[in-house]
Structure 1
C-alpha cells in the first residue's frame, strides 16, 4: 500500500467517544459474583491450612493462587467479617467485575489496501522495533507466550502455533463454555498476532516460532472478575510460560485511598509469585492520557513492581496521545498506534510521510468470524497500550529462545538496556525507551 497521502481524501471523522475507546480497556461494573449468585472474595492467607478452614466454614474455594497465599472464595454477600475471623486468613476484599470497552470509532476511510497488498508492508510497528533484523538471530523457537485475555481464534491461519491443549478458560459466569480457550471477542486474537503470528498468510509477530497459549478470562457477554484474571496469570506460571501478557487495565488513574487499592496487595502477591517461578509479565499502561508519577496514582493490575509496564508509541516514535505515562510506572514503550495528537492521527496536521488513518493503527490477526473494518478478512487495525504490551511479550519470547536460563529480572534488564530513544531508565514517557528487538538480542550474551 502506498503511504502517500496525495491520492487519498481522508474524510473528517469523529475519532473517539472517549479515552477508553482505544484498543480495549476495562470498565469496572460492580462487585463480582459466581454463577450460583454467591459473592466472590479475594482472600489473603498465611498458611496452607487456610483452605480447609475456609471450606469448613461453609465457603467455596474456586482458585488457590500465588503458591497458596491467595484464594478466590465464594459465599454469602456481606460475609467479609466472617471470613476475616477464620484462622490463617489475613485479609479479605470483595472481588470486582470488569468488562472490555471496545473501540468506538466513526470513520470512513476512502481506500483500503489492494487485494494483492503485502500485509507485512503495512506492519510499520515491526519496522520500528527492527523485528525482521532480529529474526536473523532468533524467532522465538522453544519459548512459550501466554495471552491472558478474551481467548484466541483457534482457526486463524496465522496462529497455527497455538497450543490448544494447554489453553484454558477461567470464567466465573461463562456463557460460552463450549469454545474453551477460543476467542469470546476479538481482543486476545489481535494481541496474540502482535506477539507471535507465524506469517503463514498475512502478518508476522515479534516471535513467529514461539508457542502461544490462550487463557480466556472473559465470557462473550459481560465481565471478567479480578479473581479469574489473577488465576490466568497464576496458571501461566504453572505451565512454565516464559511470558504472560495481559493487555487489560481498569481505566482512570486511581488514588491511594481508592477502594480498588484494597485489591493491589493480592495482585502483587500473585504477580510476584509468577515472576519467582520464571514467568515474565507484560502489561499495558492504560489509555487515559494519565499521569502516574504524581500523588501516588496507580492503575490495576499493572501498577505493581513485578510487571513490565508498557506505554504506547506512534509511527513517528512519539508518545501516542492516549497513553498513560510516568516514571513511577513505565518501564519501556512499544508501538501501539496512532499519533501524539488526534489531528495528526486523522491527517489534518503532521508530516508528508505520515501514515494515514486507519493504517497508523497496529495491524494484526482478527477473528475470521468477524468483519474487518478495512475489508481484509482475518486482519484489522486497532490501537492502544493493549497493542504495545504484546510487542514486548514477543520480544521476551525472542530473548528466552536465545537463553532459557535467564531469570525474569534478567530478561527485563536486557529488554530495558536494548531500548532506544532515552538515556537509561528515566524517561517519563518511555521509561528505558522504545524497545528495539535487534539491539536487545545483541545484548543477551552479556547478561
Structure 2
C-alpha cells in the first residue's frame, strides 16, 4: 500500500467529475516523429499476397520491420511517397501508408467532491447492475490475462500494481517495441522522467484497467475480473509539437494487437476508436482490411478482442466501417448505457456493429496519483463500458479455459438482458449480465 491513498478511501472525498472518457483518434496523415523512421522514408502497411513477398520487397528496397498475423500483414519501411509502387507489386494485395493519430488528452475535470464515509464498493453501481459480485461466487478471472491497449497503466497504483505483468508489458512507438525502464514524458509535468515504459502518460488506460481487473483487497474498488492479470500495451506517447500532444499511429496499434495475440492473452481491451474522414476511400478500405487480418489472427490464436463503439452518437447501420476496430467482424463491440439501461446520447449504436451494451455512465475507477491525489475518479462513455465486457470475458475463460473467443461472444450475448423502450434500440443482444452468463455456461 502507498500511504493512505487506499486505506483512507472512506475518510476522504471522491472525485466526482463531469468529464467523459472517450479516446477518439482521427487518422490524419503519414507519420512523422522518432523511432526507426528516417526523414526520407515512410512506413507502410502491406497486405501480403504471396509466400515470397519478403524477399521481393527487400529486393525492391523496402525493409521488413514486422510480420503480423502469420506474415499476412507486413510493416515495411522504404522511400517516402511510394505507396503506388508498392501497390503495383505482384506480391502485394494492397498497401497503405502508416497514418498518424493525434489525441488531445481530456483533463480530469473540476473537483466537485463531497465527503463520503461509506465503503467505496457502494459507489460501484455498475458492478451491482451487471451482477458481477454475484458472479464472483463462482469465478473471478483467476488464471486469465487482459491486455489493455491504451495510454498505459499506472504501475504504482495499489489497485493495479499487484495485477500488472510488467515483464510482458510494452511501449509501441513508430514501429519500435520497448520494454523495461526508459525516459518518458508525463502529461502532468511535461518533463522527461525515468519510468516503466508502459506506465500511463494520461489517465485513460489506468481507468480502463481498474474496471476490468482491480483486486478484492478490501479497499479501493473491485474489477469485473479481480483475479485476472493485466498487461499494459501502450501505443500512444507524448511528443512536443507546438504543445505536448498524445500521439500514435495505425502501425503501432496493429503491432500491439498482434503482440497481444502472440503472448497469448485471453482478452485484449481496446477502448479507443480510430475514425476516418472518408470511410469509403481506398485508403480507408485498405486500413480496414489490415485491421481485419490482424484481429482475425488474434481471435484464432484464442484472444477475445473487446472494443469500444465510440462516442459520436451515430447509427453505425448508416456508417459502415466508420470506426475501427469496432467495425471489424469478430470483435465484441460495446455501446454505453446508464443506470436505467438507456443508451448514452453520445454512444454509437446499430445492430450491424454493436454486440452488447454495458454501463458507461459515471463509472468509478483508478487514475494516477500525479493526475488526482485521490487516485480514483468517475468518468463516462463507451471507453469505460468496454472493460466491463473484457472482465466478463475473463470470467468465462476461467470457467472454460479451452473456449474459443467466438463462443465467449455467444455466451455473453446469451447472458445479456434484452432491452426495450426508448433509447434502447441498436444495442445488440442487450446489456451484459455477468451472473446470467456464467449460469448459462454452467447449464
The TM-score by the shorter chain falls in which range? 0.7 to 0.9
Aligned residues: 398
2:380 counterpart of 1:380? no
| 1:226-375 matches, cutoff 5 A | 226-251=250-275, 255-257=279-281, 259-294=283-318, 296=320, 298-337=322-361, 361-371=362-372
Residue 31 and residue 444 in structure 1: after superposition, are their counterparts in 2 closer, same or farther (change >3 A)?
A: same
2:56 counterpart of 1:46? no
8 Å Cα contact 1:63-1:71 kept in structure 2: yes
8 Å Cα contact 2:22-2:382 kept in structure 1: yes
Q: Residue 210 of structure 1 is aligned with which of 225, 228, 234?
A: 228
Report the aligned-residue RMSD: 2.4
2:439 counterpart of 1:442? yes
CA distance in structure 2 between the partners assigned to 1:383 and 1:237 by the alignment? 28
CA distance in structure 2 between the partners assigned to 1:105 and 1:392 by the alignment? 24
| 1:34-433 matches, cutoff 5 A | 35=34, 36-37=38-39, 38-103=41-106, 107=110, 109=112, 111-114=113-116, 116-159=117-160, 160-172=162-174, 176=184, 179-200=196-217, 201-221=219-239, 222-251=246-275, 255-257=279-281, 259-294=283-318, 296=320, 298-337=322-361, 361-371=362-372, 377-422=374-419, 428-433=425-430
8 Å Cα contact 2:273-2:310 kept in structure 1: yes
CA distance in structure 2 between the partners assigned to 1:87 and 1:297 by the alignment? 27
CA distance in structure 2 between the partners assigned to 1:153 and 1:164 by the alignment? 11
Residue 172 and residue 178 in structure 1: after superposition, are their counterparts in 2 closer, same or farther (change >3 A)?
A: farther
Equivalent in the alignment of 2:187: none
Q: Secondary structure at the match of 2:324?
A: coil
CA distance in structure 2 between the partners assigned to 1:328 and 1:391 by the alignment? 21
Q: Secondary structure at the match of 1:435?
A: coil
Q: Deviations over 1:402-426 (max 9, x none)?
A: 1011101111000000001338xxx
CA distance in structure 2 between the partners assigned to 1:99 and 1:363 by the alignment? 26
Structure 1 residue 142: Cα displacement: 0.5
Equivalent in the alignment of 1:346: none
| Runs of at least 5 residues in structure 2 that lack an aligned partner in the other structure | 1-16, 177-182, 185-193, 240-245
Q: Secondary structure at the match of 1:71?
A: strand
Structure 1 residue 297: Cα displacement: 5.4
Residue 327 and residue 56 in structure 1: after superposition, are their counterparts in 2 closer, same or farther (change >3 A)?
A: same
Q: Secondary structure at the match of 1:27?
A: strand
8 Å Cα contact 2:211-2:222 kept in structure 1: yes
Structure 2-normalised TM-score?
A: 0.84
Going by fraction, where is strand more abundant, 1 or 2? 2
CA distance in structure 1 between the partners assigned to 2:413 and 2:430 by the alignment? 7
Q: Deviations over 1:72-106 (max 9, x none)?
A: 12222211122224442221111211123333686
Structure 1 residue 367: Cα displacement: 1.2
Q: Secondary structure at the match of 1:165?
A: helix
Q: Secondary structure at the match of 1:102?
A: coil
Residue 281 and residue 248 in structure 1: after superposition, are their counterparts in 2 closer, same or farther (change >3 A)?
A: same
Structure 1 residue 40: Cα displacement: 1.8
Q: Secondary structure at the match of 1:169?
A: strand
> Relative to structure 2, which stretch is displaced further, 433-442 or 30-39?
30-39
> Relative to structure 2, which stretch is displaced further, 312-321 or 55-64?
55-64
Q: Deviations over 1:96-148 (max 9, x none)?
A: 11123333686563x4243x442111111111101110100100001111111
Q: Deviations over 1:17-67 (max 9, x none)?
A: xxxx64322133322246233322110002342223222322222221111
Equivalent in the alignment of 1:7: none
| Runs of at least 5 residues in structure 1 that lack an aligned partner in the other structure | 1-12, 338-360
Structure 1 residue 198: Cα displacement: 0.8
CA distance in structure 2 between the partners assigned to 1:371 and 1:23 by the alignment? 19
Q: Secondary structure at the match of 1:73?
A: strand
Structure 1-normalised TM-score?
A: 0.83
CA distance in structure 2 between the partners assigned to 1:252 and 1:94 by the alignment? 14
